[in-house]
Structure 1
Amino acid sequence: MNTIDRRESGVFFVDGPGGAGKTFLYRAIIADLRSKGHIVLVIASSGIATTLLPGGRTPHSRFKIPINAEPSSTCSISKQSDLAKLIRQTTAIIWDEAPMTNKETMESLDRTLRDILENNNPFGGKVMVMGGDFRQVLPVVPKGSKSQMISASIVKSHLWAFTKILHLRQNMQSLNDRDFAEYLMRTGDGIEPTICEDLVQIEVGMAIPWEGEASLHKLIEETFPNLQSHRWDASYMVERMILTPKNQDVQQLNDIVINQFPGDEQILASFDEVEGDTNNLYQQEYLNSISTGGLPPHMLKVKKGAPLMLLRNIDPKAGLCNGTRLLCRGTFQNMLDVEILTGHHSGKRAFLSRIKHKTTENSGLPFVLIRKQFSVRLSFALTKIVNNDYFSRTMLTEFFALNRADDQQSRHLLYRKIPEYYSWHSKEKEWRRRRSQKRVIGRIYTGLDNRR
């Protein structure tokens, strides 16, 4: 704040573990500056994170940054545009979840701001406040090695040398259990004793043995008890989910649960085609079978009252962004009637239509697949993308389960599993909801094959 009062430039990074109060700090800074008449632009690296900050947008949406930024990329902003005028009038930029961002994205914004503002200081002389937790999700490098992911991190950018680091060290959400807070920090810092280099031992009381397919049904029954009687219960649905690291396991678990779910089933098929393929070189059956991350399923099986998750940033201002959990209120051939379950827009209704989804160059396919489908999937079970501070805060509440069928794929799922609205009482093996102090059981179920 002193930097702003002195009208100086500066780059800051607020480092703190989940629950340390980063979002509270951002909101306080935003409220203070805007109350004084300053313009503050707020961005966050994930769509779901933008819903937690007033006026939040994704970097690509706010600054027109290329999706696949390269070392020489710049933003699509002309000096004469209204956005350029807004940038000139801006006092500060707040960037939440910055560690999730590829350094090329940040450097693209830096080059653009220097050009628009005609100032060669970092970010054109604007005050930049970044924040996040490097113990959590790093930039995604498809099929990349550990060294490639580290190289893509913002700490490897030349801008990091100009960044002043500020620390929030106290986990405000675990004040009642210092031992568990320290355990989380040891795990995140990589100093907790491990098995096979990077597997962390989970307490026996938090796991059940793998006993074949019966374990999956037990997992589902424990997570979704009395499912038949909770068809329209939004609070029941938003409080429960199963985490599993692989898309194929998500599909299997969702199929099992939706078959047990009451009501009439409706199957909504997608329209698949290859971009620029005028000779129909690929059979339709093959295109329909393709399932990659970020693509909705070809056959979307839905029932009224079933939980869904949005896969695209459709309208962040209205709470419709990637990761938003929804409840299906009505199904039509070309439209879905949904209720938002998470975030500040919880309880609001929306109508979704089919949109076109394209595979990226990192999909491993020799062509670009275009799939026209509703941008949702069932959310009884989800993948490890939920391992994120903001998903934990807005989505994981009373009951959730971790299905770990593959050690190699699930070793990164332990840290930040604990919903921030809860404190963990490790001796009593229970969750305690902070607002109501209501006692609820919050087990993590691990499907671990003991035969190996």
Structure 2
Amino acid sequence: MEVNLPFGGKVLILEGDFHQVLPVVPKGTKAEMIDACIVKSPLWKDVKVLHLKQNMRSVNDEEFVEYIQRISDGNELFIMDDLIKLPPSMAMQWEGQHSIYNLIDQVFPSLQEHANDARYMVDRVLLTPINDDVEQLNAKIISRFPRDEFTLHFFDEIEGDTQNLYQQEFLNSISPGGLPPHILRLKKGAPIMLLRNIDPKVRLCNGTRLICRGCFNNVIDAEILTGQYVGTRVFLPRIPLKTTESVHLPFVMIKRQFPIRLSFAITINKAQGQTIPTVGIYLPDHVFSHDQLYVVLSRGVSQSTTKILVQKETIPEEEGVHTRNIVYKDVLFPSS
């Protein structure tokens, strides 16, 4: 623009929520995560903040709105180690491993009868903090899903390795975040999520949810479940996926696979920005990042359609189910 002003003097509209999860700094401290926020940018002095204050997801459940607002502000009553008590209407008691299947049945009732129902699949999901638990939940659900199973394997290689220095078994065992698992188990009618931007023009972007309509060796027939292009049929190819520096491997690994994973369950961070009428929350351990609890609770629309299973042992002298809430109040309300 030949103008020595931020963004060439153009007006730029940014959207975000400081109540949600902060930028990811691998193994970073609280100070490092806050320092990565836009409020620490030299451009922040030029930003005018416009506040949106009405919760449109849960407009019909005022009590739920007030509760998650207290969670996000860090004002909910807590006991030691930032533990807060969950409402009995949402909390499920941990009674052993079968409790996980009870949660699945709460979120996906009569699953076999809705194996081809796109609306059923888009309206419900299980959320949990880390990828390992996402894969375990998806494996449990796909095994109960009707239809024949398609098993698709990665093709793994090391960039520039012409001497095959690493065994395939070792490469197959590496499963960094952001990449699909080495063995992808699919069935027709199962919900899936994209892990890469393929065609933004038709909303085939990282995080787009789809339903599998057909599976072949080199292409997957899928239907978009959300957004402007809901109902559109698309074909997803195998593509090379490279590991990034943040994985801290001594080499760049290339995995040739479909850029998708099952989405009966997804991580809390991946769910940011989505509205999900029926939400199941599985916490095998407490949340580990700023306002993850607020994010996971606010994906739903009411207390009655949100169920939480906390596996971590609660405080013996305190009745009810408790979980941890991490809030950095010094970044919730930027001064500008």
Q: TM-score, normalised by structure 2?
A: 0.87
Equivalent residues in 2 for 1:49-198 (5 A)? 117-198=1-82
Deviates more, 1:159-168 or 1:249-258: 159-168
Distance 1:171 1:246, change over 3 A: closer
Mapped contact 1:209–1:449 kept (Cα < 8 A): no
Residue in structure 1 matching 2:233, options 340, 349, 354: 349
Query: 1:259 & 1:363 partners in 2: Cα distance?
Result: 30
- Residue of structure 2 equivalent to 1:298: 182
- Residue of structure 2 equivalent to 1:443: 306
2:127 is aligned with 1:248:
no
Mapped contact 1:355–1:373 kept (Cα < 8 A): yes
What is the CA-CA distance between 1:164 and the residue it aligns to?
2.1
The residue type paired with residue 413 of structure 1 is: Q
Query: 2:228 & 2:264 partners in 1: Cα distance?
Result: 22
Query: 2:112 & 2:54 partners in 1: Cα distance?
Result: 43
What is the CA-CA distance between 1:181 and the residue it aligns to?
2.9
What is the CA-CA distance between 1:357 and the residue it aligns to?
0.7
Deviates more, 1:321-330 or 1:179-188: 179-188
Q: How many residues align?
A: 315
Q: Deviations over 1:374-432 (max 9, x none)?
A: 000011111112441x222xxx12x220000011547743214456784x3xxxx53xx
The residue type paired with residue 308 of structure 2 is: Y
Unaligned 5+ segments in structure 1 are 1-116, 431-441
Give the SS at the match of 2:48: strand
Equivalent residues in 2 for 1:5-20 (5 A)? none
Query: 2:138 & 2:57 partners in 1: Cα distance?
Result: 32
2:298 is aligned with 1:414:
no
Query: 1:338 & 1:175 partners in 2: Cα distance?
Result: 33
Mapped contact 1:209–1:450 kept (Cα < 8 A): no
Mapped contact 2:21–2:291 kept (Cα < 8 A): no
What is the CA-CA distance between 1:215 and the residue it aligns to?
1.0
- Residue of structure 1 equivalent to 2:170: 286
The residue type paired with residue 306 of structure 2 is: R
Residue in structure 2 matching 1:275, options 147, 159, 168: 159
Unaligned 5+ segments in structure 2 are 316-336
What is the CA-CA distance between 1:199 and the residue it aligns to?
3.7
Q: Deviations over 1:112-133 (max 9, x none)?
A: xxxxx22112222112222321
Mapped contact 2:286–2:312 kept (Cα < 8 A): no
Distance 1:196 1:451, change over 3 A: closer
Q: TM-score, normalised by structure 1?
A: 0.66
Distance 1:236 1:179, change over 3 A: closer
More helix by share: 1
2:201 is aligned with 1:317:
yes
Note the aligned Cα RMSD (angstroms): 2.1
Query: 1:412 & 1:387 partners in 2: Cα distance?
Result: 13
Identity of aligned residues (%): 53
- Residue of structure 2 equivalent to 1:404: 283
Mapped contact 1:328–1:338 kept (Cα < 8 A): yes
